[in-house]
Amino acid sequence: MAKIRRREFAKRAASAALAGPLALAHLAQQTNETPRPGPKLKLSPDQEAAVKRAVERREQQLKKMRDLPLPYDLEPAFLFAAQPRPRGARRE
């Protein structure tokens, strides 16, 4: 299987989302995943164009963010904490 860079993948996935349920099903077939029920959302040609513009605008805006070199060990601004079982709780 040919390698695909994550930006390229994101672009393709965005196009697939725009193209609607058929494209999603096709994508799912390729990856041997069960397709999810098709969304009821149907876009008019005008809406498709508007969504495409919104995605393009976002891609432009994200460029500066994506170009920032981030230190390898920079963690995101949220913490996951494992929750211990409350003391005294009965074992299952």
Partner 1 sequence: MLSEDILYLSVHELGEQIRSRKISPVELTESYLARLEKLGPKLGAVAKLTPDLALEQARVAEKEIAAGHSRGPLHGIPYGAKDLLATRGIHTTWGAPPFKDQVFPFDATVIQRLREAGAVLAAKLAMIELAGGGGYNNGNASLQGPSRCPYNLEHWAGGSSSGPGAAVPSALVGFAIGSETLGSIITPSAFSGVSGLRPTYGRVSRHGAMALSWTMDKLGPMCRSAVDCGLVLNAIAGHDPHDRTSRHESFTWWPPSGSQSNDTKRAKPLAGKRLGVVRPDFHAPGGEEEIGAAFAAACDALKSLGAKLEETELPDFPYAAVATTLYTAEAASIFRPFIESGKVNELIDDTQKAGLISVLSLPATDYLDAMRIRVQIQESAAKLFEKYDALAAPSRTTAAPRLDVNFDASPAPPPGAFDKWNIIGMSNVAGLPAISIPCGFTKEENLPAGIQFVADALREDVCIECAIAYQAATEWHRKKPNV
Residues 57, 77: Cα–Cα separation, whole Å: 25
| Span interacting with partner 1, options 25-33, 60-68, 83-91, rule CB under 8 A | 60-68
Structure-block tokens of residue 46: 């005008």
Binder among 3, 5, 64, 91 for partner 1 (CB under 8 A): 64
Whole-number CA gyration radius for the chain = 20
Binding-site ranges for partner 1 (CB under 8 A): 6, 9-10, 13-14, 17-18, 39-43, 47, 50-51, 53-55, 57-58, 60-66, 68, 70, 74-78
